[in-house]
Structure formats: structure tokens, C-alpha cells
Amino acid sequence: MLENLDVDRLLQGPLGDYLEQSKDERAAVARKSNRRFIALAVFFLPLLVYLFRDGFPDIGFLFFLGMAALFGGVAWAGWPRWKATQAVKIEINSAIAEAIGITYRHQDNPAPAYHLLHLHKMLPSHNRQKFEDFWEGDVAGNHFRLYEAHLEHHSTDSKGRSRTVTKFRGPFLQIGYGEEFTGTTILKRAGSSKRFGFFGGRKEEISAAGKDLAAVDMVHPEFEDAFEIYSTDKVEAHRLVHPRYVERLIEIERSFKGKGLSALFCDGHVTVLLRSNNMFESGTLNASKDREKLETTVEQFRSLANLAIALNEN
């Protein structure tokens, strides 16, 4: 139950004991990592001065060898810090999940939400994907599954130079819908589907997953300024998506400082995606930041859980 999601209560229980007991260990890890970074600076600063002394064009192979060694050294110095931070994060997020009777896993299978969104052309083009922070269980009597996605496009040019661009980062939220429906309805931000690519008016029909979805008019100016809807069943779409959702959806975007919120009504579930910054990063080596990190993660989770509840309200 979401009412059990109270920061003071969490800190007074086993989570608070764990954070207190791990305080000295986390401080020791931070010192160890800092010493490694200092050692790197002592070694690499003179080396970099030597490499750049005669200018970049004459450095050649030594430059690339030095850069490879530097990146490896940074990874070596940061590894203890990252490992300890992840351990704290998993402990905190697991305690949040346990408080409301659901489960938390750092890694899990992204199906079916990812595959449904990909199949219905709701994701940007990408060739690398990473998923983490999986929350799953029942919220207000409906199945709830939430995780964070990071989609990238990696490319290499004719000169062998590689480039990686983040195409999407944010939560995927899949909710069991309390009302039965048989069609497919897509809700996305206005302007996403133009007749002529990036310009022209709204398309009257789109195709996705082998289905033809027609544009649905909503008699509500505020709604149409913010979102557009396509569905295989216009009558069902009007029943499923009510203009009052506009306020709730925009509120969620604002709370995460995100954008590009979309939703897919398909296979008895609502699947929501939202572009945002990295989320649920509750772990820290600085014990004085524990409460702040916990409060942020609780608020992020509560906002999405409340969205799941709101989407099922009659």
C-alpha cells in the first residue's frame, strides 16, 4: 500500500540500521577510490604534458595508447565507488518495494513492455539497449511493472571513429487495466505524426504492428493541444481515454522534468513511456545524503504509482 511509503518509517526500520552500519565502510570506499584518482593524476599528468609537447599531429600511436590507458585507469579508480553505490541503491530500492508489498530487481527481462512499444513504432531507432531497476507487483489491485530504459544508437564512420547517441532514457510503466478492451489505442504528444515527415497537419491514419489505426478526435481543445490519439476502435478509444487524463499526464511530465510522454492501450494493459533523466539512483557513499536520495526515489516511484492508479479510475 502506498500509504506505507513513508521516509521516516523506512529510516526507523531495517533500512535505517543498514545505512547507519554501512556508513564507515562507505567512507572507506570513497577514500580508497579518491586515492586511486590521485595516483592516476600523479602518473598521467606528466605523461600527457610529454605527449602534447610537440603538438597533436606528431603524437600518433602513443597518444591513442595513452588515452586507452587513461580510460582504463579511470575505470579502475571508479570501480570500488560504483560497486558500493550500487549495493546501497539495491538495498534502498528493495526496502521501498517491500514497504508496499511488491518486488524490486536491479536486472530483469524487459518483455513484454519493450517488445510491445517497439512493435508499435513508439520507440526511436536504436541498436543498443539497457534496462534496470525493475519494480513489479500489485498496486491498487492491478498488476504494475515499472523499469528504466536507456536506448542508444552506436555508429562508426569511414575513418573508424565511433559515436554513441542516447535516443531515449526514461521509465517504461506497464499497468493492468481494470476495464476490458479489445482494440489498440496509441496516445502520444501532439505533432508526433505529421503528414509530410516533420511538417504538415496530423496524419489521419498510421500503421503499426500490422494494424491500421485511425486518428481519433477529442472534443476538448486542451487535450488536442497536448496529445493526439490513434486507434483501431474509435468508440473504444473515447471510452478508454478521457480528457481529464491530460492534466495528470502533464503533471507527471513536470514532476520528472521529462517530455514526450506516450501510452499504448494493447493486450489488456496500458504501457506508458516518458523521457526523463536517470531515475531511482538512491545509492550514495555520502551518508549525509541518504535521506535526500531516499526522498527523491520515493517521490519518483510514488508519482508513477499514482499515475497507474489514476489511469484505472473510472
* Tens digit of each residue's pLDDT (9 = 90 or more) over 157-183: 877 778 899 999 999 999 888 778 899
> DSSP string covering 56-111, please?
GGGTTHHHHHHHHHHHHHHHHHHHHHHHHHHHHHHHHHHHHHHHTT-EEESS---T
- The closest of 185, 182, 243, 241 to 213, measured between CA atoms, is 185
Contact by Cβ (8 Å): 187, 207? no
Predicted confidence band of residue 195 (pLDDT cuts 50, 70, 90): low
Whether residue 23 is predicted with pLDDT greater than 80 in this model: the reply is: yes
Q: What is the pLDDT of residue 174?
A: 92
Give the three cell numbers for residue 118: 517497439
Q: What is the pLDDT of residue 303?
A: 83
DSSP run (H or E) holding 278: none
Q: What is the pLDDT of residue 230?
A: 92
Question: CA triplet 138, 144, 146: central angle to 5 degrees?
Answer: 135
Predicted confidence band of residue 139 (pLDDT cuts 50, 70, 90): confident
Q: Where are the domains of the chain?
A: 1-101, 103-280
